Amino acid sequence: MAQVIAIILGNILISNFILFKFLGLCPFLGVSTQTKPAVSMGVAVIFVMVSSGVVTWLAYRFLLLPFHIEYMRTVTFILIIAASVQFIEMVILKTSPALYRALGIYLPLITTNCAVLGVTVLNVEDFFVAGKTPVPGSFLLSMLQALFAGIGFMFVLLLMSGIRERLALNDVPESMEGLPIAFLTASLMSLAFMGFLGLKI
């Protein structure tokens, strides 16, 4: 139970992928200008992280390890992530063309979102002993880590979008408009989240 709580709190607050590991900054800064696209991107990233986490664990455990081709891990994981993103892109295009247009270039960018690749690699490093033998409950722990890494990603994306919507209504110096104030805000958020490092689980 302690390990489950550590995964939940770790991925949302303590070692958040955006504010602590600095992964996935491109969609974070690109989509966080408004809350609605931020929610959509967050849900898409959660789906891709969970589906990729499940499939990459299975591929690593039952394909790469038995054939002793663990060195193909990164290439295999990228192909699986690209397939997951392609699937969600088709679903969004069919169900909500307006949302598809709103997300624009940032939807295909999930493929190159290093946070998604990061969670799949961390699953192997955290839940396989020496990269070879899965720990007890490895599959469920991997799913849990992928889910809460996505929730942590979405949580920070929503916080940032709320702040940037408020900033758009305020009088910001011209030299700080746009990305400069976004970088400054992200830096302050990162410093604030570092306060969670003192949590002992």
Give, for all 201 residues of the chain, the pLDDT tens digit: 888 998 999 999 888 999 999 888 888 888 888 888 888 888 888 988 999 999 999 999 999 999 999 999 999 999 999 888 888 888 888 988 887 887 777 777 777 778 899 999 999 999 998 888 999 999 999 999 999 999 999 999 999 999 999 988 888 888 888 888 989 999 999 998 888 887 655
Distance, in Å, from the CA atom of 146 to the CA atom of 11, rounded to the nearest integer, reads 9
The answer to whether residue 40 sits within a structural domain is yes
Identify the pLDDT of residue 26.
81
The answer to whether residue 16 sits within a structural domain is no
Within a 10 A sphere around the Cβ of 33, how many other Cβ atoms? Answer: 16
Identify the pLDDT of residue 155.
95
Identify the pLDDT of residue 36.
85
143: domain range?
A: 28-163+175-189
The answer to whether residue 201 sits within a structural domain is no
Distance, in Å, from the CA atom of 1 to the CA atom of 189, rounded to the nearest integer, reads 29
pTM of the shown model:
0.87
The answer to whether residue 14 sits within a structural domain is no
Distance, in Å, from the CA atom of 170 to the CA atom of 154, rounded to the nearest integer, reads 25
The answer to whether residue 121 sits within a structural domain is yes
Residue found by looking up tokens 């598809």 in the block: 100
Give the 3-state secondary structure percentages of the chain, helix then strand then coil, rounded to 5.
80, 0, 20
The answer to whether residue 4 sits within a structural domain is no
The answer to whether residue 45 sits within a structural domain is yes
Domain count, the chain: 1
